[in-house]
Structure 1
Amino acid sequence: MTDHILIERHGAVQIIRMNRSEKKNALTRAMYATMSAALTEGDADPSIRVHVFLGVPGAFSAGNDLTDFLAVATGAGGGNEVWDFLMALANSQKPIVSGVDGIAVGIGTTLNLHCDLTFATPRTVFRTPFVDLGLVPEAGSSLLAPQILGLQGAFALLGLGEGISAERAVRAGLIYDVVEEDGLEGAVLAAAEDIAAKPPEALKIARDLMRGPRDGLVARIREEAEHFRERLQSDEARAALVAFMNRKKAR
C-alpha cells in the first residue's frame, strides 16, 4: 500500500484517488500495485458496484514515473505491477467512472479509454508522448483510440503526440462531459451513485454487450507490452528519456 493512492468508499462507490501531487501524480510501481489490488478486490466485493478514478487539483496523472522507466531502460529490471494494473483495468467487471482535471499524460490519458464515463474540466489536456520518448502506445490504446477517434484522430494522439483539449475530446467521443473545476467531483460521484443504484445484473449484461469480448483487447495490451519492453531497452528510448530528464532538471 502507499499513501500516494487513497482508497475511499461512498456507499457502493469505490474511489481510487491518485495523491502524489508533488510529482503531478506520476505513477510508481507501488501506486500501480495499489490500484490493481483495489480494482481486483472491488470486483470481488458485491457491496461495491462502481469504481471511480480521481486525481488532485490540476493533475489527473503525468504518466509513468520516469525513474521507473529509466531503471528498466538501464537494465535494473522491473516487476509486473504495470501489467497487473492494465489487466485489472481491461477485465474490470464493474463500471468505471473517472474525473480528470488538468494534466493527463500517457496512462493519464489511456486509462480513460477503459472508463464507461469520463468527466473533465476545461483546463484538461489529454496527451500521449510515447513516440517522442522512443516508446509505443500502451494500455490497449492502439486498439481503442482508433475505434473512438478514427485512424487519423488516433494517429494525431498516439503518433504525433498532439494534445486534445477537453472540449475537443467530448466532441470526439473520447470523454462524456466537460464540467467546471469546482463541480468535477460532484458530477463524477453523482454519476457513479446513479450507476450504483441500477439493477446490477442487468447493468453488467448491458455493459458486457457494449464492450464485447475482452480477448482482443488483452491480446493487444500484451502485444504493446512486448514492444514497450523492447523499446525501453533501445538506444533511441534511453537517449530520449535521458534528454527529457535533463530538460526537467534544467528548469
Structure 2
Amino acid sequence: MNDFVTESMESGIQVLCLNRTDKKNAITLDMYQALTNALRSAEHNDQVKVTMLYGLGGDFSSGNDINEFVHIAQTPEKMEAIMAFLQVLSCYKKPLIAGVEGRAVGVGATMLLHCDLVLASREARLQFPFVQLGLVPEAASSHLLPQLVGHQKAFEILVLGEVVSATQAHEMGLVNHLCEEGEAYKLALFYAQRIAALPVEAVALSKDLLKFRGQDDVQMALMREGRIFKDRLRSTEAHQAFTAFLSRNK
C-alpha cells in the first residue's frame, strides 16, 4: 500500500482510508495507484465481501492534488493512473460503501456516484469545481449526475460548482443516510456489516442487475470525459486557474 492510503480487514470488510490529512486527503498519482491495486486485489479475494472508503482527519477528500496537476499538464500521459482507478471503481463488482465527513471535492465527490451506499455527516459538503479550474467533469459524472438529479440541477452543480450541503445531497439522492459529525465511519461500518452478513453471490448478482443496463454508457462517458479532460489540462484557461488557485493557497 501507499503511506497515504491504509487498508484493513474487518470480518470480510475491506476498509480503505485516505490518510493525507495535512492536505485534506488530496489524492496523488501514487494514491490512485494504491487504491487501484487494493480494489483489483479485493476483486479476486473471496475473503472480501464489502469495500468501504473513508477519509481520515475530518475530510473525505479535497480532490486531486493541484500541485501535481500542474506537472501532469506537461505530461498528460500520467493521467493513465487516474483513468485506471476510475475504470476499476466504475466496474467494481463487490458492494462499495463510503463514509463521508467534511469536504468531498472534485474526484472526492464524483467517486461517490459509483458507490452503492453513501453515509455522510450532516456537516459534510460536496463540491464539483471543475469548470472553475478550466476543466470538465470526470468519473462519468456528466452521465451519472443528470440521471440522478436531472439536467438542470446537474448543470448547476457541475458548471457553477457551488457547495452542496449534506442535507441537499441527501434530498437529491446523492447520500443515503445522514449522521452526526464524527459518526460517518461508524454508520458506514454498520451498513457494511449488514451487507457482509448477506449471501455473497446474491448480493453481487443484485448489484450487477442494478448496474448492467447503464454500464456501457458509463464507460463511454468515462472515456469521452477523459479525452477532453486531458486536452483541458493543457489549455490556457486551466493554466491560469491553477496558477490563481496556488497563489491563493500561498
TM range (shorter): over 0.9
* 1:71/1:77 contact within 8 Å kept: no
Q: What letter matches 1:47 in structure 2?
A: Q
State the alpha-carbon separation in 2 of the partners of residues 191 and 159 from structure 1. Answer: 33
Aligned-pair CA distance for 1:67? 1.6
Partner of 2:73: 73
Q: Aligned-pair distance for 1:76?
A: 7.6
Given that residues 75 and 233 in structure 1 are in contact (C-alpha distance below 8 angstroms), is that contact kept between their aligned partners in structure 2? no
- Report what 2:238 is aligned to: 237
Alignment of 1:110-189 (within 5 A): 110-189=110-189
State the match for 1:46 in structure 2. Answer: 46
Gaps of 5+ in 1: none
Aligned position for 1:246: 247
**Under a length normalisation based on structure 2, what TM-score does the superposition of the two structures give?**
0.97
Q: CA deviation at 1:146?
A: 0.4
Mapped to 2, the partners of 1:76 and 1:206 lie a distance apart of 37
* CA distance, structure 2, for counterparts of residue 247 and residue 187 of structure 1: 36
Distance 1:76 1:159, change over 3 A: closer
Corresponding residue for 1:209?
209
Distance 1:25 1:19 in 2: 6
**CA shift digits 1:115-158 (9 cap, x unpaired):** 01001111111001000000000001000000111111111111
> Equivalent residue for 2:35?
35
Report deviation, 1:77. Answer: 5.4
Q: Specify the alignment match of 2:14 in structure 1.
A: 14
Q: Deviations over 1:90-110 (max 9, x none)?
A: 010101000010011001100
SS of residue in 1 equivalent to 2:118: strand
1:163 Cα deviation (Å)? Answer: 1.1
**TM-score normalised to the size of structure 1?**
0.96
Q: What is the alpha-carbon distance in structure 2 between the residues aligned to residue 112 and residue 77 of structure 1?
A: 25
Which residue number corresponds to residue 2 of structure 1? 2
* 1:61 aligned counterpart, secondary structure: coil
C-alpha distance in 1, partners of 2:38/2:72? 25
Unaligned runs of 5+ residues in structure 2 are none
Please say if residues 105 and 126 of structure 2, whose CA atoms lie closer than 8 Å, have aligned partners that are also in contact: yes
1:219 CA displacement: 1.2
Which amino acid is the alignment partner of residue 74 of structure 1? Q
* CA distance in 2 between partners of 1:184 and 1:199 (Å): 25
CA contact 2:104–2:127 (8 Å) conserved in 1 = yes
- What per-residue deviation string (whole Å, max 9, x for no partner) do you get for residues 193-227 of structure 1? 11011111111111111112422211110100000
- On the 8 A contact 2:97/2:115 being kept in 1, the answer is yes
The AA in structure 1 aligned to 2:183 is: G
CA RMSD of aligned residues (A): 1.2
Q: Which has the higher mean CA deviation after the structures are superposed, 183-192 or 130-139?
A: 183-192
AA aligned opposite 2:247: N
d(CA) in 1 for partners of 2:106 and 2:183? Answer: 25
The 3 A distance-change label for structure 1 pair 87 and 77 is closer
